[in-house]
């Protein structure tokens, strides 16, 4: 399970709420795996995660654009890579080439926490210092 803590805040209420929602979606996915949910349910969960993540990344990138964040393109590439990775998990799940496990959930959780504490904290600091 993944818990929101104040040290993950980027000092933007909307983006923090979106990050918290991503944590909830990852937790739901984890619970689905632990409960041995049917593959169809896990597919729904992963599609929901991709959809919400795409929306969040768009919102975050708009915020960075408005603040003239100099590393927007590099940040955008990190977002694209994550979306591609999760879509790949989904494709492998559908084709029967992936058995969902805690490893997948750990990747999602670790990526999100590291991304927020790294890249997202950088744009938050930039925003505070302008």
Domain span holding position 23: 13-129
Q: What is the CATH number of the domain that holds 61?
A: 1.20.120.50
Q: Provide the number of structural domains found in the chain.
A: 1
Assess if residue 8 is contained within a domain.
no
pLDDT in tens, 82-115: 999 988 888 887 887 767 667 788 889 999 999 9
Q: Tell me the pLDDT tens digit for each residue of 11-22.
A: 999 999 999 999
Q: What is the pLDDT of residues 40-59, one digit of tens each?
A: 898 898 899 999 999 999 99
Helix (H) or strand (E) holding 130: none
Q: What is the DSSP string of 52-83?
A: HHHHHHHHHHHHHHHTT-TTHHHHHHHHHHHH
Is 83 inside any structural domain? yes
CA dihedral angle for residue 87, residue 84, residue 88, residue 38, rounded to 10 degrees:
-30
């Amino acid at each position: 399970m993944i818990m929101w803590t104040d040290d993950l805040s980027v000092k933007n209420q909307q983006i923090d709420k979106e990050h918290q929602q991503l944590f909830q979606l990852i937790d739901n996915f984890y619970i689905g795996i632990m409960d041995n949910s049917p593959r169809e349910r896990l597919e729904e969960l992963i599609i929901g995660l991709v959809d919400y993540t795409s929306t969040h990344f768009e919102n975050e990138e708009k915020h960075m654009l408005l603040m003239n964040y100099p590393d927007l393109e590099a940040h955008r590439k990190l977002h694209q890579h994550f979306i591609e990775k999760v879509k790949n998990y989904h494709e492998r799940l559908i084709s029967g080439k992936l058995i969902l496990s805690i490893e997948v959930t750990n990747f999602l959780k670790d990526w999100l926490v590291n991304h927020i504490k790294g890249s997202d904290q950088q744009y938050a600091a930039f925003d505070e210092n302008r």
